[in-house]
Amino acid sequence: MKDLIKTGDIFKCSWGYDQTNTDFYQVVRVISEKTIELRMIKSKQVDDHHVEPVVNDFTSEKFRRHPRYSNDRAYINGECSFMSASLWNGEPCYETAAGYGH
């Protein structure tokens, strides 16, 4: 599991109530097997309902997370403790258009 996460990897977090938002986080440093440093990055619209990350276009300062591993997958908590992010698979991610929901 130690080599599962590497610098440059992207995590995605989908969340929302009555709409779906997607946040992306880029690994900027692997400190140890148990601690990584990330920064939030921008996303871009690829069609009406899908987004993908914009690598190295950072929107936050560095922050640390302690990844969890399950079934050869890595997960981290997002901005809030109830948000879970997993390694991005390289495919565009579903997101509802602005104005959906509340």
Q: What is the pLDDT of residues 28-44, one digit of tens each?
A: 999 998 899 999 999 99
> Distance from CA of residue 33 to its chain's centroid?
18
Q: Alpha carbon of 66 to those of 31, 37, 71: distances in Å? A: 10, 9, 17
Residue 1: inside a domain, yes or no? no
Q: Rounded mean pLDDT of the chain?
A: 86
The pTM (predicted TM-score) of the whole model is 0.86
Residue 60: inside a domain, yes or no? yes
> How many distinct structural domains can be found in the chain?
1
Residue 85: inside a domain, yes or no? yes
What is the structure's pLDDT at 1?
44
Residue 27: inside a domain, yes or no? yes
Q: Alpha carbon of 78 to those of 46, 47, 48, 59, 83: distances in Å? A: 23, 25, 25, 14, 5
Residues in the chain, pLDDT under 70? 1-3, 78-83, 98-102
Domain membership of residue 62 as a residue range: 10-94
Residue 100: inside a domain, yes or no? no
